[in-house]
Amino acid sequence: MCTEIVYDKNMRCALYARVSTTDQNCEMQLRELREYISRRDWKIAGEYVDTGFSGAKASRPSLDKLMADAAQRKFDCVVVWKLDRFGRSVLNLSQQLAALTTFGVRFIATTQGLDTDKSNPTASLLLHILSAVAEFERSMIRERTLSGIRAAQAAGKVVGRPKRVFRRDEVVRLRDADGLSWRAIGKQLGIPAMTALDSYRQSACTETVVAATPVSGGKRTKKKVAA
């Protein structure tokens, strides 16, 4: 007595393949994926191939298109040869698989028996493990970033965006006297238009006390000047 496995013949599948260098090709991966689909009488909705891209990169042309098409439910399942073809970063993998699950798209790594189908008991376990490891990876990245910042500050290096040096009173003059637009002011001073706008607003709210000619009674007057 044998058991016959019945597959959904209406399953639309997207094949994804990747190689890290341009002197390699994805034909072997694609051939095995096509055979996998054919044995189940599934349909190929599209083939997405990235050539010369590292698996550590979160953004790749064909991968980005695949995720966009998944959001529009152009297929029901994403099929890859191995998990590392889809991505090598646990953090990115966790986010991408979670997104596919949200879209209602199944994910299968054919040579590793990985399948996020809800009827598969290992699917939930896989997603929980990836999520936990991804959280650990995020913490490690954050700690390394903070350590690098502290080391740079200890060495006397300036951390963060460089401060823009420009005449703030010139912004006020060009706006009030010449009536230039923020874009024109920014172009003339070599700064973004929003930086010019922010500087103008800050100058309008700044009140500086300056020495003035004594008046009767020995009082001094306050005068508003542009910062």
Encoded tokens for 126 = 């896989």
Burial status of residue 80 (CB atoms within 10 A of its CB: 0-12, 13-18, 19 or more)? buried
Q: Which of 20, 62, 89, 203 is catalytic?
A: 20
- The answer to whether 91 and 138 are in contact (CB under 8 A) is yes
**Residue 117, CB half-sphere, CA atoms under 13 Å: how many?**
13
Calculate ∠ Cα 104-52-70, nearest 5°. 10
DSSP state of 132: H
Residue 20 annotated as catalytic? yes
* Cβ neighbours of residue 14 closer than 8 Å, sequence gap 6 or more: 44, 45, 46, 47, 48, 66, 69, 70, 74, 75, 77, 78, 79
Please state, in angstroms and rounded to a whole number, the distance separating the CA atoms of residues 11 and 9. 6
Please state, in angstroms and rounded to a whole number, the distance separating the CA atoms of residues 99 and 81. 20
Active site residues: 20
